[in-house]
Chains A and B, each alone.
Chain A
Amino acid sequence: MSDSNRLVGQERRSDGFWACLALPGVGWLALFFLLPFYVILCVAFGTVDPIFQTPSPEWNPLAWNTAAFEFVFEGLFTSGAAFQTVFVRTLAYVAIATALALLIAYPVAYYVARYGGRWKGLLLVGLIAPFFISYLMRMLAWINLLQDDGWVNDVLVWVGILDAPRNWLDGRASSVILGLVYGYVPFMILPLYAFLDRIDKSLLEAARDLGASPFQAFRMVTLPLSMPAILAGIVIIALPMFGDYYTPDLLSQSPSTSMIGNQIVLYIQGGQQIPVGAALVVVLMLFLSVLMGYYLYATARAQRRLGR
């Protein structure tokens, strides 16, 4: 009796102790995420200063002004309106870029994890090293590569794929998607590698022993096992892609490839409709939280399926 009481007491104490470890994280989130997010909400639901035309946030939720949201929703739900067009385009670009990134990242991660051997570390560093350079610099480098007289055209013409140099920077959706894929692919490779590397090889051997072909073993063992990593990779790269605006700005500059981030920048950087920009941010965030919710649900389901 007394023994078990002591045990319970100990567990309680240690529970409190472990919970305290979460405090710095919780404090950090509250200070640098919840508070700024509340400020954005207050700007989106606020008014503008009558003299300076700068935003005056409305701190009291009871007095929130919904005009900016009405404007944004009107634009999102009117077919052919600016916000809807840009939102659908963004969705398409992100979906295509994420799929391409997965197609590129999976084999790379698989190769490094399974066949990297003692070169694993070096291969990983080699893959990641270019990404120590700032995103902006890498996009600027692409501008040089893709120019009329750039190396991409030189190579394609030399190999004979193209007869004449192509104007890749001609406001093409493909250039923007290429930029997105290139910019974010390492963040797909890393989680996939981390997960694939941990897959127990004996499971694959068991599959082969039970008569599965290598492809069947991959399809029925490796792929389901790596599902949580695929989902994590998709989330990690899709979220920042949704807010991207500099990739279309640098690689296209054409209005016909602008993304939702470009509209946000347009409204936030100048003029007196900053609440509209803030409302766009909030709406985008709500949309992403739905995706995030699905991710949490899907990973939980995948884990359950794996019987963990």
Chain B
Amino acid sequence: MSHPRESRYGRREFLGRSAAGVVGLSSLSTILAACGGADNGNFKPPELMLARPDSPVTWPLLDDNPMIASGLEPESGTLRIYNWNGYLWPRIKKDFAKEYGVKVEETFFTTLDEAISKIASGAVEFDVFFPTPDRLGRLVVGKTLQPLNHDYLPNLANVWPSVQDPWYDKESRYTVPYVTWTTGIGYRTDKVSTTPDSLSNPYEIYWDEANRGKLYLLDDGRDAPAHMLLKNGVEDINTEDIEQIALAKDELKSLYDLNVKVSTDDYTNLPEGRAWVHQMWSGSAISAQWYLPEGTGADALGFWFPQDGAGTIGNDNIAIPRNAKNPVLAHHFLNYLLDSKHGYDNFSNYVGYQPPFTRLDPDRLIADGIVPANLRTAIVRESDFDKGYFLTELTPAGQTEWQNAWAEFKAGV
């Protein structure tokens, strides 16, 4: 087959055909065959599998991408971290720098895809990177991450057994878990007339006329439509079925009548009163109490997530790029964050997103005053990971369909 850019097919057809390859063969090799003779003529890529909770993936260890040897001394260079803004307590960096006698530098990215294009280009060199499971496959297959040497990561034992050996990266070969989250519905108990849990279908709260103009969805092309699917009883939130995508899109557009708005500032929109009902990440629900105006107690905040855990759920990762200048130091940093105390401080003082530590039980968080009792639903439980729905990696064609549907909703057509 000729190179796609030489073919008479348009790019979209190309993506469609290659996606069929991915679905059919669970492999990227068809796409790469289509690209044979390009820059990577002799490059035999490993397979890119679409990891799903019911079809876990063990990423291969490759000869040309070895892990570091055991027993090395940490480097003394500057540890360079690549992360979202506001996703790491500055004190953690300071303390780590002091303990190891090094400098720690953090660089922020706006979107993970922006970060991936920079890392993929090889133009940036970071020691620690924060990807998500739905982008992991391409990062591993593209050989941008290095396998982790668990000898340096004894603290991995602190996390729930299920995320020590997660479906998206069996044996935690390339990643360790960072924080967990659920996507629920935040609401103002002092403003709404109906709460989600009083409805037989809690997702119907989005259509409650009483909250017209005070309704927000997350500005996220996967998370927002996922709730539309769940409202309709579609549990496969990673569906690539055109009809289901259209269903989610139409549900989103039906919210125009209620003057729906989109934002990722859920943690301020709700406490500051711009929103009464807000699709919300659990970590934002916990942080929201810090943004309430004076005189409004945390009991004004409510967060709904299915009791049985059957809602949108996920966790983020920490990984070490292949071209890290200080890989040993980076392993130490990963282990540092997996330390129960450091991870807990990072969560409770700043990030608001909860690390999956076995020792962190909901009662303790409430007793410690980290989470107000009425926001107990925002605490992620290990059992949620059995029932919850993960947003996973899609085929390129599926991703295109979802993005175009989201773009249409966002255009206000």
- Taking Cβ atoms with an 8 Å cutoff, the residues of A that contact B are 46-55, 58, 63, 65-68, 70-71, 80-83, 85-86, 89, 147-148, 167, 169-171, 252-258, 262-263, 266-267, 269-273, 275
Contacts and interface: CB of A to CB of B under 8 A. Distances in A.
Contact of B411 (A67, A86, A167): A86
B86 to A, nearest CB: 17
B94 interface: no
B111 A50 contact: no
Given A80-B413, A271-B113, A50 B12 contact: no
A51 to B, nearest CB: 5
Interface residues of B, number: 53
Nearest to B48: A51
The binding surface of chain A is classed by DSSP as: loop
Contact of B113 (A255, A256, A269): A269
A167 B213 contact: yes
Given A50-B32, A269-B114, A258 B142 contact: no
A79 B43 CA distance: 46
B412 A86 contact: yes
A49 B120 contact: yes
A255 B45 CA distance: 41
Interface stretch (B255-263, B283-291, B344-352): B255-263
Contacts of A169: 274
Interface in B63-89: none
A85 B116 contact: no
Given A47-B11, A263-B410, A267-B407, A256 B138 contact: no
Contact of B45 (A51, A85, A254): A51
A53 B396 contact: yes
Contacts of B101: none
A275 B15 CA distance: 13
Given A65-B10, A273-B400, A51 B413 contact: no
The 4 A-B pairs with the shortest beta carbon distances in the complex, nearest first, are A67-B11, A67-B10, A82-B411, A256-B412
B114 A253 contact: no
Given A253-B263, A254-B261, A271 B403 contact: yes
A86 B410 CA distance: 9
A82 B213 contact: no
Contacts of B273: 147-148
Given A80-B413, A255-B260, A51 B28 contact: yes
Interface string B116-152: 1100110000000000000000100110000000000
A85 B409 CA distance: 11
Given A169-B274, A253-B261, A266-B403, 5 more contacts: A47-B11, A54-B121, A71-B12, A255-B260, A255-B409
Among A68, A256, A270, the most chain B Cβ lie within 10 Å of the Cβ of: A270
A81 B411 CA distance: 9
Interface in B249-281: 256, 259-263, 273-274
A256 B257 CA distance: 10
